[in-house]
Amino acid sequence: MAAEAVTVEAVVFDVGRVLYQWQLRILFEKLIADPGELDWFLTHVVTEEWHFQHDAGRPLAEMVPELQAQFPAHAHLVEAYAQRFNETIPGPVPGSIELVERLHAARVPLFAITNFGAEFWAMFRPTAPVFDRFRDIVVSGEERLAKPDPAIFALAAARFGHAPGAMLFIDDNAANVASAERLGWQVHHFHDAATLEADLIGRGLLDA
């Protein structure tokens, strides 16, 4: 594609499932012993779809009591979601943080666009010093805009100070990648760090 011939001036990462692993199950399997009950809870109570309301800007003070009223027998588990969210993030995606460090060492400007609730971002960000390498991070919950909405990409382009076609956007979600590509960004649909590394080398951003 013609856009891929343009020099990449900056690299823009997603966070969840690109830089850091994320699974609600990792927290709740500590709290629900029965596998069938755990599956039911994650399918009907604290679901990813429900969680994404916080990513889009809805405060926990609204979401949590509402869900607790709907599922009173599980109120303590819904409270655990709010208080122990960092336990849903067990650690980095293998190899990804190393790529950030290599890009930083190569003086490539680094940015991020993440679907992340504002309150949870405030909890998680201090645990992840790698984000000190980033010049700016657009957080959906703070902006009340979430990927794949084109508006969040427009906001990011304005803040980052580079034309969309001169930035490489990396995300694991196909819809987010497609939205960015339609807006003229260079894109990489993330599957694993080794494949991303090969792409970064091919674009001249990293040495082999």
User: Is there a domain that residue 207 lies in?
Assistant: no
The model's pLDDT over 67-122, given as tens digits with 9 standing for 90+, comes to 999 999 999 999 999 999 999 999 999 999 999 999 999 999 999 999 999 999 99
Q: Alpha helices of the chain — where are they, by DSSP H?
A: 24-28, 35-44, 48-55, 60-70, 75-83, 96-105, 118-124, 140-143, 150-160, 174-182, 193-202
Residues 149 and 181 reside in one and the same domain: yes
For 36-65, the pLDDT digits (tens) are 999 999 999 999 999 999 999 999 999 999
Same domain membership, residue 126 and residue 80: no
- How many CB atoms neighbour CB 17 within 10 A? 15
Query: Crossing angle of helices 150-160/174-182, nearest 10°?
Result: 60
Tokens of residue 138, six digits:
């657009």
126 lies in the same domain as 78:
no
Q: Give SS3 for 104.
A: helix
User: Are residues 101 and 174 located together in one domain of the fold?
Assistant: yes
pLDDT tops 90 at residue 4: no
Give the model's pLDDT for residue 6.
Answer: 78
CATH assignment at residue 159: 3.40.50.1000
- My answer on whether 58 and 11 are in the same domain is no
pLDDT band at 5 (very low <50, low <70, confident <90, very high): low
Same domain assignment for residues 66 and 80: yes
170 shares its domain with 106 = yes
The answer to the question of residue 113 being in a domain is yes
Cα distances from 15 to residues 12, 35, 139, in angstroms, run 10, 28, 10
Asked if residue 1 has pLDDT above 60, the reply is no
pTM as predicted: 0.95
Query: How many Å separate Cα 16 from the centre of its chain?
Result: 3
Condensed to tens digits (0 to 9), the pLDDT of residues 155-169 reads: 999 999 999 999 999
User: Closest by alpha carbon to 96, among 84, 83, 110, 85?
Assistant: 110
- Give me the pLDDT at residue 3, please: 41
Residues 7 and 56 grouped into a single domain: no
208 belongs to a structural domain: no
pLDDT at site 58: 97
In terms of domains, do 123 and 46 share one? no
* pLDDT tens-digit series, residues 125-176: 999 999 999 999 999 999 999 999 999 999 999 999 999 999 999 999 999 9
Tell me which of 43, 71, 88 is where a domain ends.
Answer: 88
Share of the chain above pLDDT 90, in %: 97
- For the chain, what is the domain count? 2
Q: Bigger pLDDT: 135 or 5? A: 135
Domain that holds residue 35: 24-88
Instruction: Check whether residue 100 and residue 177 sit in a common domain.
Output: yes
